[in-house]
Chain A
Amino acid sequence: MKRAQSIKSNLSRFSQMQQSPLILKPQNFATPLVRRFIQKLKKNRDFKPNNEQLELLNDKSVVIDPKNETPNFPMNYLEITSKIISKLGVLHPYDNIKILLDILHFLLIIFYIYWMPFEICFNVKLNDGVYGMMLMFFACDILLNFNTVTFSSTFLCNFFLRHIFTMASS
Chain B
Amino acid sequence: MKKRSKIFRNYINGSMLPDLLTTLIIGISIESKSSDDFAQFIKLIFLLRMKTLKCIYWRILEKFRIRSKVQEYFIDLANLLFISLWILHLFACFWFFVGVHSDPENNWIVANGLNESSTSIKYLTSLYWSAVTIM
Contact = CB atoms under 8 A, between A and B. Distances in A.
Place the interface of chain B in its size category: 35 or more
B60 A103 contact: yes
B23 A135 contact: yes
B4 interface: yes
Interface string A70-90: 000000000000000100001
Contacts, number: 117
B22 to A, nearest CB: 7
Contacts of B47: 113
Interface in A50-72: none
B60 A118 contact: no
Contacts of A102: 56, 59-60
Nearest to A94: B63
Contact of A90 (B4, B34, B46): B4
Nearest to A102: B56
Contacts of A112: 26, 46, 49
- Most B CB contacts (10 A, CB to CB) among A102, A105, A147 go to A102
Interface stretch (A24-32, A36-44, A149-157, A159-167): A149-157
Interface residues of A, number: 42
Contact of A138 (B6, B11, B22, B123): B22
Contacts of A85: 4
A47 interface: no
B81 interface: no
B130 to A, nearest CB: 12
A151 B7 CA distance: 9
A122 B60 contact: no
A119 B29 CA distance: 10
Interface of B: 1-2, 4, 6-8, 10-11, 15-16, 19-20, 22-23, 26-27, 29-30, 34-35, 40-41, 43-44, 46-47, 49-50, 52-53, 56-57, 59-60, 62-63, 82, 86, 89-90, 93-94, 96-97, 100, 119, 122-123
23 contacts: A85-B4, A102-B56, A105-B52, A106-B53, A106-B57, A106-B60, A118-B93, A119-B34, A120-B44, A122-B119, A123-B35, A123-B40, A135-B23, A135-B26, A138-B19, A138-B22, A138-B23, A138-B26, A141-B19, A142-B19, A142-B20, A149-B2, A150-B7
